[in-house]
Each structure stands twice: as structure tokens, then as C-alpha cells.
Structure 1
Amino acid sequence: MKNLWDIFYKGLFDQNPIFRLALSLCPALAVTSNVTNALAMGLSVMFVITANNVVVSIFRRWVNPKVRVPVYITSIATIVTVLILTLQAYLPDLYKELYLYLNLIVVFAIILARAEVFAAKNPVIPSFFDGLGMGAGFAGAMVFIGIIREIFGNGSIMGVNILGTSYDPALIMILPPGGFIVIGLMIASFNLIGEYQDKLKAAKQGSDA
């Protein structure tokens, strides 16, 4: 159980797709101007990466290594199609907001990377937790960026005004430059925290020795 937790947790911080690995930054810039879209995109990616990890893990012994990448992409495309059709049927307004970026999920580097690096080499349950952790890390990062940008850019969270009518929004925060600023600051912060944690681990290992 502890090993599964470690697999899940690494996606939240140590290998956070956006803040540590700097992958899939396109949606992090494009759809995080408000929390609703950021959350929807984050949950969509979490579903796709988790489902794809499970599929790849199940069929890993029958996939010829020479064609593994086309197989992974076909699996991802199928899952994304199911996701798109579901949103189109049950959440049409949200689908209209995100439809362009939902199609791009097929080529997100983080999804293909987890299939290649982890799911293709591990059983189903660890692969599930790997995908879930990476997806949760991605979704959490998207929502965090969305909260900061929407608060400072609109004075609201999920459309609810929290800073009052007297607040003068910093419009740059809902534009691409604002996204770059927030993501850059968060990447720097995560790197500093990671370095601090590494120093603590090294010091602890030295004292134990």
C-alpha cells in the first residue's frame, strides 16, 4: 500500500507534469483564465491518462515494441473520442468552451510518456495509480493557475465575485502573458521546494550513516 501511495504522490509534487516537468503547457496557458475551464480540462486529462495507463498495462505483453507508439496513440485517441462524445452529449456548453483543446489531449506528451515509461512495464494496479497521480497533479496545477489568474484578472472564482465591485482587474492575468508569469513563478517555487527537500533528505541520510 505504501508503494502505491509513493507512485501516486510523485505525480502531485516530485514529477508534477506542469510545475516540475514543464509538460503540456499549452492548455495551462490557454484554458486557465478561469477556474471552471481549468478544472474541466484537468479532470479530462486525469481521466484519459488513467484510462490509457490501464489499457496499455493490460495489453503490454501483446504489443510489438516496433509498433508500440502507434498503438499508444490509437488508445489515447479512442479514449479522448469517448470523452468528447460524452461531454458533447451531457455538458454541451463546457464542450463548446474546450472542444479545440480536448482534441489536443491526444498528443499531450505527459500521457504518451507515462504509457512508455511506466504502464508498458508495470502491472495494472500500479499503472492505474501512476496515471491517477499524474492526472491529479496536472488537474491540481491547472486549478491553482486558474484560481490565481481569475482572482487577479476578474476578481472572481468560478464566476462569483469575491473582491467586490471596487476592485480594478489586472487584465494581463487573463491574457497569455499573465499565464506565463504565474506558471514561471510556480515552476521556480516548486524547484526551490524540491531542492530544499533534497537537502533535508541528504542531511537525514548523513545523520543515519
Structure 2
Amino acid sequence: MSTSYKELTINGLWKNNPGLVQLLGLCPLMGTSNSTVNALGLGLATIFVLACSNAAVSLIRNAVTPAIRLPAFVMIIAALTTCIELLMQAYTYQLYLILGVFIPLITTNCVILGRAEAFAAKNKFVSSTYDGFVMGLGFALVLVIIGMVRELLGTGTLFTNMQLLFGSMAANWQWTVFPNYEGFLLAVLPPGAFLVLGLMIALKNQIDSYILARTPVNMPAAADRRVRVTD
């Protein structure tokens, strides 16, 4: 089974995006996307686990029997999730406390197990790793866009508390877009995430419809033939 890297990229970022098309991993998508830093932190963690789990599954795909395949995949994903938990506790502890239970829940994210079963278990190491990376990137991009929109509408600022992820050098990254903004409470509550995600899905569908309408259609050759009338 072979797939080009261009096709993998398009599928991960657009055509088969986990957040906009497959609608997988909605629990963390809704629960942690109330700010840019929270969304980016979980997005980077998901990319790491997806890429590494795909790589590991690809390496052992011929060494495990069908009877233990899924338990083995879950153990790999759980081990990698534990690694990212320990790294966050060591280097981004405050952000780890904010994200809370959503970090361990990466283990049960259907995106990760789905790609391990559907792609990594059937393909070679490099293409499987790349597939995991772009699928994770597609999920993270949706997560970050929702976080940015909700933070902007909810507080009138962007990139607040980025030092929780990038350290003291990011302490001044906050951008006040709307000074003296009173805030919009619905945007930072879970229903706000559903509304933003719904608008993003609608926008993607509109873009897909526009692209499809602009794509030339090859008419049958018979339609271009002129009918010859003979006496």
C-alpha cells in the first residue's frame, strides 16, 4: 500500500482533517481550546504522540498477531502519552495543571488509534511517521484556530500566557486587539467551541463546493461530435 507524500499532506491538513472532516477527538477540542496557549500545548502533544505511535506501530506491524494487535497499539500510545506527561511536568508544569485530565485522554483519542490501525499497520516506517505528523498537524491547526478565535472574542486579546509554554521569553507576547473590551462570556465557555467549530466546518464545505464548481468537467467525446445529416 503506497500513498504519495503530497496526498498524505492534503488528506491530513484538508480532505481528511481529523477535526473538520472525521470529527474525532472532539472532547479535547472543546475542553482545551478556550485560549491559544492551551490549544497549542495540547496540539503539540498530540502531534508528538501521533507521529511516534505511527512510527512504532509500523516497526512492529509484522511481529504482532491480529489477536494482540489492538492491545499492543494501545500500550504504545499509552506509553508515549506518559512520556509527554512527564515532559510537561518537567518543563511546562503550570500548563500541565491547566490542561489537567486532557493530557492522559490523548491515549483514548480516536485519531491516534485510528491512524495506527488504518495506516501505520499497513505501511512502511517513513510514510507512517509522516502520516502521523500531518494528521496531528491538521488536528493541532484546528485546535489553535478555535483557541485564537475564542480568546479574541472572549477577552479581546491574543497569545495570553504564552510563557506557560515557551518560558519567560514569551512573557510579552500578549497582543491586546480590542482595548477596554468587556469580553464575551459565551466564547470562552464550551458552547462557544461548538459554534466556532461549526462555522469552520461550514466554511470548509463552502470552499470545497467552490473548488468543485470551478473544476473543469471532461465532457464525453460523443457530446462534441456534430451530427451529420444525410439525404
- TM-score > 0.5 by shorter chain: yes
Post-superposition offset of 1:200: 4.1
Inter-partner Cα distance in structure 2 for 1:143 and 1:181: 15
Post-superposition offset of 1:135: 0.5
Query: Is the Cα–Cα contact under 8 Å of residues 53 and 77 in structure 2 kept in the other structure?
Result: yes
The residue identity in structure 2 corresponding to 1:70 is P
The residue identity in structure 2 corresponding to 1:72 is F
Post-superposition offset of 1:19: 1.0
Query: Is the Cα–Cα contact under 8 Å of residues 20 and 190 in structure 1 kept in the other structure?
Result: no
Inter-partner Cα distance in structure 1 for 2:116 and 2:220: 37
Asked if 1:130 is matched to 2:144, the reply is: no
Out of 172, 179, 186, the position equivalent to 2:200 is: 186
Out of 170, 177, 181, the position equivalent to 1:167 is: 181
Inter-partner Cα distance in structure 2 for 1:165 and 1:197: 38
Query: Is the Cα–Cα contact under 8 Å of residues 54 and 120 in structure 2 kept in the other structure?
Result: yes
- Bigger Rg, which one: 2
Inter-partner Cα distance in structure 2 for 1:53 and 1:176: 31
The residue identity in structure 2 corresponding to 1:173 is A
Post-superposition offset of 1:189: 1.5
Inter-partner Cα distance in structure 2 for 1:14 and 1:144: 17
Inter-partner Cα distance in structure 2 for 1:208 and 1:53: 43
Query: Is the Cα–Cα contact under 8 Å of residues 72 and 112 in structure 1 kept in the other structure?
Result: yes
For 1:5-44, list aligned pairs within 5 A. Answer: 5-44=6-45
Q: Which has the higher helix share?
A: 1
DSSP-derived class of the 1:61 partner: coil
Q: Deviations over 1:49-76 (max 9, x none)?
A: 0000000000000111122111110000
Query: Is the Cα–Cα contact under 8 Å of residues 20 and 191 in structure 1 kept in the other structure?
Result: no
The residue identity in structure 1 corresponding to 2:10 is Y
Inter-partner Cα distance in structure 2 for 1:162 and 1:129: 37
Inter-partner Cα distance in structure 1 for 2:45 and 2:198: 24
The worse-fitting range, judged by mean Cα deviation, of 66-75 and 187-196 is 187-196
Q: Deviations over 1:85-117 (max 9, x none)?
A: 111111111111113100000000000000010
Inter-partner Cα distance in structure 2 for 1:180 and 1:140: 16
The residue identity in structure 2 corresponding to 1:167 is Y
Q: Give the total of aligned pairs.
A: 206
Inter-partner Cα distance in structure 2 for 1:43 and 1:196: 32
Asked if 1:145 is matched to 2:146, the reply is: yes
Give the match for residue 61 of structure 2.
60
Give the match for residue 155 of structure 1.
156
Query: Is the Cα–Cα contact under 8 Å of residues 44 and 140 in structure 2 kept in the other structure?
Result: yes
Post-superposition offset of 1:10: 1.2
Out of 156, 177, 187, the position equivalent to 2:191 is: 177
Post-superposition offset of 1:9: 2.7
The residue identity in structure 2 corresponding to 1:79 is L
Post-superposition offset of 1:165: 3.2
Give the match for residue 88 of structure 2.
87
Query: Is the Cα–Cα contact under 8 Å of residues 12 and 18 in structure 2 kept in the other structure?
Result: yes
Inter-partner Cα distance in structure 1 for 2:145 and 2:55: 27
The residue identity in structure 2 corresponding to 1:186 is M
Inter-partner Cα distance in structure 1 for 2:213 and 2:44: 33
Ranges in structure 1 where 5+ consecutive residues have no aligned partner: none
Structure with the bigger RCO (C-alpha within 8 Å, sep 6+) is 1
